[in-house]
């Protein structure tokens, strides 16, 4: 048993009881003490006065609790538009702090601001100021979210808090969710492929970030609120995202083709996450399979470094240079780890160099065997 997770689950039981019990003396006491902040569904912060240390520990787990619980608005009367967790695990005040700070009624309920009909929801949210610069973009995103909320977000009857992790709240259901989050990966997560002991950990971490679709390519930056015209620095023919950069860009395709003459490489046509998921996972049995098992690390890392050099240093390498870099990394990792013979790796690199950097390789003519 994980005692830390069990402790969190037990603490969250109090937060659950706070949402469910109306007239309990302890809840009335806490609401009385912290009525300045907080809502019907959670209490506000602790100002450090005597006798509150227990509750201060409890509300520290608020973020954990609201990942699995959610306010389900009915009439919206009891739910704070800005402060409550009624769409996802972040409140509007947490997601759009500058908007919340400028709201005329920061404590308004949903019902105060929403006009719900069968077909649509109309929002009437007054602000004390007009927005410019970065805040203007925040405002657009804010109203984009609001305007796409369907009327089905609102149920009939009164507001309530629902437990999303199971049919009904239990300490056990929360404990299971927390443990699952901490220890388990999705069934198809290619753990052994990504985390290989002989590849530098920063490059394993890099491939993991790529697999998680968290790499900061232009599309990710735009999702984080940046605004700029996106153009792939490798081919200048398309917008940049991870799938384009590592798979579909004409520059990347040429690199894949060159290196494919030396190492097994099925580029795939889907997303880079799918390619990583579908990559051969069996324990490598010969040098060729060892090369395959490390190719994605070397290839994605080299393309990413090249992309950054072009953007930040203004220098560009050729696809032959990148292919040679990829081969060098693979040979280095496997030779140091003792997976291939060092002399054979050196010979392989010599051939690779003569047919890439020195020669300009025609992939069909490449016949170098792997070490
Ligand atoms: Zn491109």
How far is ligand 1, taken at its centre, from the CA of residue 276, in Å? 20
**pLDDT value at position 269?**
67
Are 169 and 198 contained in the same domain? no
Q: Would the pLDDT of 195 be above 70?
A: yes
Residue 115, beta-bridge partner list: 122
Please indicate, yes or no, if residue 273 is contained in any of the structural domains. Answer: yes
Distance from the CA of 367 to the center of ligand 1, in angstroms? 28
Ligand 1 centroid to 299 CA: how many Å? 15
- 208 and 353 inside one domain: yes
Taking CA atoms, 56 is separated from 11, 17, 90, in Å, by: 11, 16, 20
How many beta carbons lie within 10 A of that of residue 151, not counting itself? Answer: 12
pLDDT given at position 17: 93
In a domain, 215, yes or no: yes
Q: Distance, CA 239 to ligand 1 centroid (Å)? A: 7
Q: Same domain for 150 and 222?
A: no
Residue 279 Cα to ligand 1 midpoint, Å, equals: 23
pLDDT of residue 97: 84
Ligand 1: distance of its center to the CA of 209 in Å? 20
- Does residue 218 sit in the same domain as residue 259? yes
pLDDT given at position 22? 82
Domain count, the chain: 2
Please tell me the total number of residues recorded for the chain in this structure: 371
Residue 367 clears pLDDT 60, i.e. is over it: no
The per-residue pLDDT for 13 is: 93
The Å distance, Cα 360 to ligand 1 centre, comes to 21
Cβ–Cβ < 8 Å for 357, 324: yes
Average pLDDT estimate for 151-172: 84
The arithmetic mean of pLDDT across residues 339-354, rounded, is 81
Residue 371 lies in a domain: no
Distance 121 CA to ligand 1 centre (A): 41
CA atoms of 227 and 230, how far apart (whole Å): 9
pLDDT tens for residues 311-334? 999 999 988 889 989 999 999 998
Distance 234 CA to ligand 1 centre (A): 5
Range of 66's domain?
3-178
pLDDT surpassing 60 at residue 216: yes
Q: Are residues 142 and 213 in the same domain?
A: no
Same domain as 119, residue 24: yes
Is pTM beyond 0.75? Reply is no
Instruction: Provide the phi-psi class of 296: left if phi over 0, else alpha when psi is between -120 and 50, else beta.
Output: alpha
* Dist. CA 235 → ligand 1 center (Å): 4
């Amino acid at each position: 048993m994980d005692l830390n997770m069990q402790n969190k689950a037990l603490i969250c039981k109090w937060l659950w009881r706070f949402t469910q019990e109306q007239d309990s003396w302890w809840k009335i006491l806490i609401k009385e003490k912290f009525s300045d902040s907080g809502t019907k569904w959670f209490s506000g912060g602790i100002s450090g006065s005597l006798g509150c240390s227990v509750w201060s520990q409890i509300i520290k787990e608020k973020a954990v609790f609201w990942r699995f619980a959610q306010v389900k608005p009915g009439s919206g009367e009891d739910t704070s538009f800005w402060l409550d967790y009624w769409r996802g695990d972040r409140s509007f005040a947490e997601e759009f702090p500058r908007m919340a700070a400028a709201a005329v009624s920061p404590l308004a309920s949903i019902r105060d601001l929403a006009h719900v009909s069968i077909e649509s929801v109309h929002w009437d949210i007054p602000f004390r100021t007009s927005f410019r610069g970065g805040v203007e973009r925040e405002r657009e995103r804010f109203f984009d979210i609001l305007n796409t909320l369907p009327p089905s977000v609102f149920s009939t009857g009164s507001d309530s808090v629902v437990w999303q992790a199971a049919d009904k709240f239990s300490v056990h259901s929360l404990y299971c969710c927390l443990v699952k989050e901490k220890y388990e990966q999705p069934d198809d997560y290619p753990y052994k492929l990504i985390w290989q002991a002989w590849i530098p950990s920063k490059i394993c971490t890099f491939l993991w970030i790529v697999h998680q679709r968290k790499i900061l390519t232009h599309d990710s930056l735009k999702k984080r609120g940046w605004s700029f015209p996106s153009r792939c620095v490798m081919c200048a023919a398309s917008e940049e995202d991870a799938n384009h950069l590592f798979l579909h860009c004409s520059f990347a395709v040429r690199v894949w083709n060159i290196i494919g003459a030396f190492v097994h490489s099925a580029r795939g046509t889907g997303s880079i996450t799918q390619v990583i998921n579908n990559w051969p996972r069996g324990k490598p049995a010969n040098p060729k399979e060892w090369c395959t098992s490390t190719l994605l690390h070397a290839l994605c890392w080299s393309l990413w470094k090249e992309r950054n050099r072009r953007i930040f240093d203004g220098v560009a390498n050729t696809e032959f240079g990148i292919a040679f870099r990829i081969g060098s990394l693979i040979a280095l990792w496997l030779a140091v780890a003792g997976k291939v013979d060092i002399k054979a790796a050196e010979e392989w690199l010599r051939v690779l160099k003569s047919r890439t950097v020195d020669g300009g390789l025609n992939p069909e003519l490449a016949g170098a065997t792997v070490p």
